[in-house]
């Protein structure tokens, strides 16, 4: 499916931007999970601590994509961290990356290969929203 403009309300997208801006990683990313339009979890990416779930997600992606470099990415990405934190099954994720001057400009934040594989195999999330320099886009992964 070709990406289209995100249909989410600006208030929700602003929350995703706020989470990304709160990241203390050099590459600032944040994700929020929604269940029937309600936010059930939020997380930033992590650059100082590894996590077992991210480790296995990375190992699996390295196998699936035939790229051993992926296996080294053991610092939790915001998508994986958000799914670890969620206590309910989400149907929607919003992934945001910010950068530029003042760290307020939207950057391309489509889930990477590790997160794509993890979302598709280990969650019920099918509605994917992500930031780009031209605003938020949407893809259906069902």
Interaction between residue 115 and Zn ion (CB under 5 A): yes
Identify residues 94-113 at the interface with Zn ion (CB under 5 A).
Answer: 112
Interaction between residue 25 and Zn ion (CB under 5 A): no
Does the CA dihedral 16-21-23-27 come out positive or negative?
positive
Strands 105-107 and 92-99: antiparallel
Tokens of 141: 């992964």
Interaction between residue 77 and Zn ion (CB under 5 A): yes
- Given a contact cutoff of 8 angstroms between Cβ atoms, the answer to whether 51 and 82 are in contact is no
Interaction between residue 126 and Zn ion (CB under 5 A): no
Tokens of 119: 């979302």
The length of the chain is: 142
Please report how close the Cβ of residue 51 comes to Zn ion at its closest, in angstroms.
13
Interaction between residue 34 and Zn ion (CB under 5 A): no
Which of residues 9 and 85 has its CB atom nearest to Zn ion in the complex? 85
Please report how close the Cβ of residue 11 comes to Zn ion at its closest, in angstroms.
25
Interaction between residue 64 and Zn ion (CB under 5 A): no
Please report how close the Cβ of residue 41 comes to Zn ion at its closest, in angstroms.
16
Which of residues 10 and 68 has its CB atom nearest to Zn ion in the complex? 68
% helix / strand / coil in the chain, to the nearest 5?
35, 30, 35
Tokens of 63: 């196998």
Binding residues for Zn ion, per CB under 5 A?
77, 112, 114-115
């Amino acid at each position: 499916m070709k990406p289209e403009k995100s249909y989410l309300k600006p208030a929700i997208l602003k929350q995703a931007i706020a989470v990304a801006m709160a990241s203390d990683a050099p590459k600032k990313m944040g994700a929020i999970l929604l269940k029937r339009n309600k936010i059930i979890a939020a997380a930033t990416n992590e650059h100082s601590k590894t996590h077992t779930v991210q480790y296995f997600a990375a190992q699996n992606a390295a196998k699936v994509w035939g790229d051993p470099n992926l296996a080294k990415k053991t610092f939790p990405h915001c998508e994986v961290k958000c799914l670890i934190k969620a206590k309910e099954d989400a149907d929607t994720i919003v992934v945001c990356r910010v950068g530029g001057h003042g760290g307020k400009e939207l950057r391309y934040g489509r889930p990477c290969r590790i997160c794509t594989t993890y979302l598709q195999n280990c969650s019920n999330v099918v509605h994917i929203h992500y930031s780009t320099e031209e605003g938020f886009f949407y893809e259906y992964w069902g």
